[in-house]
Each structure stands twice: as structure tokens, then as C-alpha cells.
Structure 1
């Protein structure tokens, strides 16, 4: 056992685990020769002309959806000429009315001005309400049956005074 401890101590002392600083370039006996072509920096030809965004946008669009199967019924449209924008959109509400929003923006400083209107009369379907039955939870715990304890002593007699 002592010999093992001595050998272990010598192995730890002999192991040189101190970090080495610096790097030694390995020599392989040959130097690879690499030849690259000189890059050419010719101007790149442009395949398209850069669009100019200086002019004010002008557009108009409209769309509408009327699907009887799903019940979807809505439409929208907008016109824009420069900063002046106007449009409207409408949707059929669940109560049967049609909500129409008409909006306009006169210029960049006037802001968004909207006019909301409703057409039609609200119709609500009668709801047949039936109260759910009352919930009575079953007891989760069953108590063990009670048992009578036998008396192991005799109680003392109780005397009543004659007063």
C-alpha cells in the first residue's frame, strides 16, 4: 500500500500540467503554393431603374364578399389622390343591421374623420332558456361505522341531596 502511495505521488509530481504560453509553428518540410486570380472590380450593370417615390400616390380599390353559406357579408372601397383619401366599408352585424363607416382624410394635417351609420332594424332571435338541473355531489368520503365501547369500570354512584 505504501508503494502504491509513493508511485501515485511520483506520478502526480512527474506530470507537468502547467499551461504553456506561446505557439510554435509546426514545420512540415514544404510550403504550399496558392495562386489566386486577381479580382476584377468592373462596374455592375443595373438591370432595372430605381423607382422614384417623389410623386404622390394615386389609387382606387373596391371589394365585396357576400357568402350565403357562411353568412359573411361585407364590402370596402378606398380612393386616394395624393394625401386626400376617402373610402367606406360596411359589414352586416349579428343582430341583422348593417354598419357603414365612411371616412376621409383631406390632407396630412386634418386627421382621420369617420362617420358611422347603421341601417336596418336589430332583430334578436328568441332564446329558449332551460335551467340546468341542480347538481348534488355524492359524498366523497364514507365514514367507518361507529361502535360502542364497553365500559371497563363501574361508575361511582351519584347522590342527590335532599334540599
Structure 2
């Protein structure tokens, strides 16, 4: 008799779980309308400043229609800061890269032998 009670409880539990997530049991599906012809516009930025791992970087980007502008910088393993400014549009992309500081560790990107 005890086995029949366990089986009955198992059937009730499965039926309760099925009723929670199944179609037609109170589950509502919301459709989202996306207008792919809408004028694209966004802006974002982020910053990372972690002295423990020496991870220093930031980026921002802004888009308005077909024009996208952005900037990012990071501290490279050799100690120099790389700064990239970019602009992209219907005629292509343009990147301007510059470096600040001097290579301190002889790592990748330096002119010295770092091995």
C-alpha cells in the first residue's frame, strides 16, 4: 500500500509541474514587435580599472543613423596606453591609433628583446 501512495504523490507532482509551464495552462507568450526600418540610435560606454590584475580599459560608442563614432583605450602589457578613435559610415571606416608612454617591460609591441 505504501508503494501506491508514493506513486500517487509522484503523479500529482508531475501534473502540477506540467500545469505551470505548459501551453494552455496560464502560460502567456508575449510577442515583441521590431521595426527593422527604424532609425538606429544608441550610445554606450564602459570602464574597467582593476589595479590587482592591471586591467585598465574603457570604451564609448555612439550611433545615429548610418554614422557611428567611438573611442577605446587600454593599457598594453608593455606599459604603453593604446588609444583608438574610429568613425564608420556609408563610405567605410576610419581608425586613428596613437600610443602614450614608453615600453617598460620589453613585452609585445616594444622594440627591445623581451625574452
* TM-score bracket relative to the smaller structure: 0.5 to 0.7
Aligned to 2:105: 124
Q: CA deviation at 1:48?
A: 4.1
TM-score of the aligned structures, taking structure 2 as reference length: 0.62
Tell me: CA distance 1:123–1:56, structure 2 relative to 1, closer, same or farther (3 Å): same
CA RMSD of aligned residues (A): 2.3
Q: Aligned runs of 1:2-151 on 2, under 5 Å?
A: 47-48=30-31, 50-105=33-88, 107-108=89-90, 110-124=91-105
Q: CA deviation at 1:49?
A: 5.6
TM-score of the aligned structures, taking structure 1 as reference length: 0.45
Runs of 4+ in 1 over 2 A off after TM superposition: 46-51
**Structure 2, unpaired ranges of 5+:** 1-28, 107-114
State the structure with bigger RCO (CA 8 A, min sep 6), 1 or 2.
Answer: 2
How many residue pairs get aligned? The number is 80
Q: CA deviation at 1:124?
A: 2.6
Tell me: CA distance 1:74–1:47, structure 2 relative to 1, closer, same or farther (3 Å): closer
| Structure with the largest fraction of strand | 2
Q: CA deviation at 1:50?
A: 2.4
Q: For residue 112 of structure 1, give the secondary structure of its aligned residue in structure 2.
A: strand
| Structure with the largest fraction of helix | 2
Instruction: Give the number of the structure whose alpha-carbon radius of gyration is greater.
Output: 1
